[in-house]
Copies of this chain bind each other. A is one copy, B any other.
Amino acid sequence: MSRSNPRVLSTLERAGGFASAQEIYALMQRDGQQIGLTTVYRSLQSLLNDKIVDVLRREDGEAIYRLCGESHHHHLVCKSCGKTVEIEGGAIEKWAKNIASENGFRDVGHTAELFGTCSNC
């Protein structure tokens, strides 16, 4: 089992705590850090195992990783300009937990993303 390469984590931080594997790889290349794409994927996998990062999916299916540990939050994204607002999801957390226990599920995670049109568009 491989350990996470610390430079991957620090690049993810630098990216605003929200990026895909390919983006992290590109960022590191641009900075002149030499690393293989494979290692980026492996590091993210390992960070995921250790629950240092979360994964979710963009609309096109690409996996994006974000730091977790800080308060869990969701996003409100504008469909036309891409503007993104971070949302506190306290209500959702409770809802998820309730639904899960009602149905006998354990270890429940959730995704909740909102998208619409912002005031400027």
Q: What is the count of identical protomers in the complex?
A: 2
Q: Is A50 an interface residue (CB 8 A)?
A: no
Question: CA A43 – CA B108 in complex, angstroms?
Answer: 33
- Asked if A114 contacts B109 (CB within 8 A), the reply is yes
- Give the residue of B78, B103, B108, B112 whose beta carbon is less than 8 angstroms from that of A111: B112
- The reply on A34 being an interface residue by CB < 8 A is no
A105 in complex: contacting residue of B95, B108, B119, CB < 8 Å: B119
Q: Give 18 pairs: A residue, B residue, CB < 8 Å, sorted on A.
A: A57-B59, A57-B61, A78-B105, A79-B107, A92-B92, A96-B114, A99-B114, A100-B114, A105-B117, A105-B119, A106-B116, A107-B116, A107-B117, A108-B114, A108-B117, A109-B114, A111-B113, A112-B112
